[in-house]
Amino acid sequence: MANSPQSKKRARQAVRRTDVNKSRRSRIRTFLRTLEEAIESGDKAAAQEALRAAQPELMRGVTKGILHKNTASRKMSRLAARVKAIA
């Protein structure tokens, strides 16, 4: 357990950051889930709109340190290809 004042403060900050990061990650997953559902439904217009909404959320996750840049880029690339492939 934390003993020094600084380590106690860092423990408090870690709890707070964990909560914030958890909510951000959940928000990103929600956007990705709506995009997946739009792709599964086969509605190209809805899928494109969901992709446009999900892209900034993914990149925001990168700037906030939740996702690695290459991970987000890979996800966007694969999702964009799947949306493009909808007949």
Over its C-alpha atoms, the chain yields an Rg (Å, rounded) of: 17
Q: How far is the CA of 47 from the CAs of 2, 27, 33, 71, in angstroms?
A: 48, 18, 11, 21
pTM over 0.95: no
Closest by Cα among 24, 42, 55 to 83: 42
Residue 28, pLDDT score: 97
What letter does residue 19 receive in the DSSP assignment?
H
How many residues does the structure list for the chain?
Answer: 87
Within 13 Å of residue 49, how many CA atoms lie on the same side as its CB?
8
Residue 30, pLDDT score: 97
The class level of CATH for 5-84 reads: mainly alpha
Residue 2, pLDDT score: 79
| Average pLDDT for 36-58 | 96
Could you tell me the pLDDT band of residue 87, with boundaries at 50, 70 and 90?
Answer: confident
Residue 58, pLDDT score: 97
